[in-house]
Amino acid sequence: MKNTVIRYGVYGLLTAAILFLLALTLGKSLNYSAQEIVGYTTMVASLSFVFFGIKHYRDKENNGIVSFGKALKIGVLISLFAGIGFGIIDYIYTTVINPDFATEYLDKTLETMKSTLSAEEFEIEKTKLTQQMADYGGSGFMAFIMFSSVVIIGFIISLISSLILQRK
């Protein structure tokens, strides 16, 4: 099990790092909604190794048998690798490649909000969002949020893969 987790975890980590870095550098001209779609697609692509890792373990290492619990454990461990890849690249992006990301994101979000909200609502939301960005806009926290998001999505993919691939 250990070799499978490491192998497919590294595949997921490398896929996450490469695709996420490409999306961040090549997708700069895209709006934030499109970048978000590309980001989630990248997450799912890197987390596809969860399914393949569980399947490999079941078919090649465990004589065609894997319990739901063991499959879930393998999937979550592989997801952790992908999450680490996303977290590292997110941290590098927000500290080295584009240290002004948080400010740019806040400005763009406020611009969008200004066109959709009344003046009173805008001022209330602006105050809240500005405070949130001041409290949580650090690179380390954003990297942790990215890591957590990937692991949560990875858990869901692990759960579905475990249900599909379990065999007694």
Residue 57 domain flag: yes
- Sequence letter at residue 62: N
Beta bridge partners of 66: 167
**pLDDT for 129:** 78
Residue 44 domain flag: yes
Number of structural domains, the chain? Answer: 1
Boundaries of domain holding 87: 2-98+138-165
Residue 81 domain flag: yes
**pLDDT for 137:** 66
Residue 60 domain flag: yes
Residue 111 domain flag: no
Residue 148 domain flag: yes
**pLDDT for 101:** 77
CA distance to 1, 71, 155, per residue, from 168 (Å): 17, 12, 22
Q: Count Cβ atoms within 10 A of the Cβ of residue 29 and give its class: 0-12 exposed, 13-18 middle, 19 or more buried.
A: exposed
Residue 131 domain flag: no
Residue 113 domain flag: no
Q: What is the pLDDT along the chain (168 residues), one digit of tens a residue?
A: 889 999 999 999 898 888 877 877 777 777 777 777 888 888 899 899 999 999 999 999 888 889 999 999 999 999 999 999 888 888 888 888 878 877 777 777 777 777 777 778 777 877 887 787 777 767 888 889 889 999 999 999 999 999 999 887
